[in-house]
Amino acid sequence: MEDIADKFPAEVHFYTGKDNEAKTDRVNCSGNFLFIFVRSGVFRAMIDGDKISCTSNELVVALCRHYYQVLSYNRKMACYFVKVQWQFITDIKMSSQFIEVLVSKQSIKILPDLFDAKVLARIMKLLHYYYQTSTNPNRFPQASFTAALSLLIFQAAWQQDTNLANTSFNRKELLTMQFLKLLIQNYREQHSPGFYAKQLFVTSGYLNKAVREVTGKTVIKCITEVLISEAKYLLMSSQHSVETISEQLHFTSAGSFSRFFKRQTETTPMEYRKEYGK
């Protein structure tokens, strides 16, 4: 299903202890979030060199920067494995809920209560069913798949809040979190790295160095990704003209916005709306 991964915002797999498919070689997974929910048994994997072990009804949320690899499992194991593009989390306005996970470079292990575990199991089962039908365009319910994936993100965000309370961060990680939160609040009006550096009382160079060290992206790359995400959302979900959207995003003109959009996406705003708009 590699072609599906290119088209849709997530891959969904269900592994069992009786299925040899669960054992994999290293899988490249740059910049994707992993949501691993174990229904029964024991599941072990490696994410960017760090080993994780999950048991029955545990949910693991992790950012995979380079690769993951399924290591081992017992015969009683039943596990849902969902790989979600960071862009999707940004598109549904949930990026602020995962900033700490993005910065900490640590997987978060959550043990839901019985009710929440049942909710997660039903969401995962639904996602897996939809994903299996994705090879048939006539049967695949794109809107339902996206809605179920959003439910998973919302549920995981709510569950993981209490698990981060005791996580410690160094100075650069804290600065990066402050920048990302500030960016989410101001990206429409402020496109300059200098604005964020000034607000955080550091130089632009130091801010860029810290953000790049923690996230692997420059400050301007972070600003660009959020702007493009918002532009796509407005083009898909509203009937506003390109000129109005450019004003909402504080570009100097519709022309400068269109050039920016095409440079980043290789398509014009109107072409994008025609293909993906309602």
pLDDT in tens, 216-264: 889 999 999 889 988 988 898 888 999 999 999 999 999 999 999 999 9
Do 81 and 12 lie in one domain? The reply is: yes
pLDDT at 5: 42
Please say if the pLDDT value at position 49 is more than 60. yes
Do 49 and 101 lie in one domain? The reply is: yes
Do 206 and 225 lie in one domain? The reply is: yes
Residue finishing a domain among 122, 142, 164 = 164
DSSP string, 146-179: HHHHHHHHHHHHHHHGGGGTT----HHHHHHHHH
Give the chain's radius of gyration (CA, Å): 20
Query: 0.85 exceeded by the pTM?
Result: no
- Check if the beta carbon of residue 43 is closer than 8 Å to that of residue 79: yes
Q: Per the structure, how many domains does the chain have?
A: 2
Do 145 and 223 lie in one domain? The reply is: no
Please say if the pLDDT value at position 215 is more than 60. yes
| 164-189 mean pLDDT | 83
Do 267 and 180 lie in one domain? The reply is: yes
For residue 103, the domain's CATH number is: 2.60.120.280
Do 189 and 93 lie in one domain? The reply is: no
Do 216 and 117 lie in one domain? The reply is: no
- Check if the beta carbon of residue 61 is closer than 8 Å to that of residue 100: no
pLDDT at 76: 84
pLDDT at 203: 96
Residue finishing a domain among 164, 198, 227 = 164
Computed over every residue of the chain, the mean pLDDT equals 86
Do 158 and 184 lie in one domain? The reply is: no
Whole-number percent of the chain with pLDDT over 90? 42
- Of 74 and 271, the one with more pLDDT: 271
Do 77 and 119 lie in one domain? The reply is: yes
CA distance linking residue 175 with residue 95, whole number of Å: 17
Q: Which of 37-51, 104-118, 143-157 has the lowest mean pLDDT?
A: 104-118
Do 26 and 153 lie in one domain? The reply is: yes
pLDDT band at 6 (very low <50, low <70, confident <90, very high): very low
Do 158 and 270 lie in one domain? The reply is: no
| 104-110 mean pLDDT | 80
Of 101, 148, 13, nearest to 110 by C-alpha is 101
pLDDT at 112: 87
pLDDT at 164: 54
pLDDT at 31: 78
Domain carrying residue 68: 2-164
pLDDT in tens, 79-93: 999 999 888 888 887
